[in-house]
Structure 1
Amino acid sequence: MDKEFAAAVRESVRAFAAKIPGRSVELRVPPYVAVQCVPGPRHTRGTPPNIVETDAATWLALADGSLGWAEAVADGRISASGPRSDLSGYLPL
């Protein structure tokens, strides 16, 4: 991917984490970025209990509202585990 695409992914994920601060969910968009976000119990060791992982193109579509959370989950474009992993209430940016 090109530098602008990578920068857009990193900046939008970091903006999401700044908008929804916390440490209860780990949001991963490999290979570009991973952040902790969403208020709630803080995770400090081992595998986080609340993980959201998606590819870069899906993340950008979620962030700009051209793709809905439910559709992305149903299509298998998002891997979400844990009771706080539903980010639909925070998207689009």
Structure 2
Amino acid sequence: MARGRIEDAAGLAAVHAWSSGDRSRQVVATAVRWTLQALADRAPGKSVEVRVPPFGAVQCVEGPGHTRGTPPNVIELDAETWLSLATGALGWAAALASGEVRASGVRADVSWALPLVR
């Protein structure tokens, strides 16, 4: 069952709490899901799947989509790295070079859409 949209006020509050050092599961889960939602809003489409296990995944970026199996363009990273990218605390190139971001496929780059929150 799909989750409902997270209200902007709740999402921003979670991101700010995370930025202030709160690493509780509820705060991280809300912050990750809201920033993934914000990414999908900023870059609508179905050609790239961004995964932040265990909290969420979203399809985004215009282009050819997929309907079954593993998508050809996948970005996978942990919650700490994702939130650091989403807030601008970490740059895409640095995260990719360090291996904190695993990206496969020619479209698997969402650096142009980041940061989502400042």
Question: SS in structure 2 opposite 1:49?
Answer: coil
Could you list the runs of 5+ residues in structure 1 that have no partner in the other structure?
none
Higher strand content, 1 or 2: 1
The match for 1:70 among 93, 111, 115 is 93
> 1:87, CA displacement in angstroms?
1.1
Question: SS in structure 2 opposite 1:18?
Answer: helix
Distance in 2 between the 1:45 and 1:6 partners?
A: 26
- The two structures have a TM-score, normalised by structure 2, of 0.76
**Residues 25-56 of structure 1 deviation map (CA, whole Å, 9 limit, x = unaligned):** 01000000011000000111111000000000
Percent identical pairs in the alignment equals: 59
> What does residue 27 of structure 1 align with?
50
Could you list the runs of 5+ residues in structure 2 that have no partner in the other structure?
1-23
**1:14-93 to 2 correspondences below 5 Å:** 14-93=37-116
Cα RMSD after superposing both structures? 0.8
Alignment coverage as a number of residue pairs: 93
Distance in 2 between the 1:45 and 1:13 partners?
A: 21
The letter of the residue matching 1:58 is T
> 1:88, CA displacement in angstroms?
1.1
The letter of the residue matching 1:61 is S
Question: SS in structure 1 opposite 2:107?
Answer: coil
Question: Larger Rg: 1 or 2?
Answer: 2
> 1:2, CA displacement in angstroms?
2.2
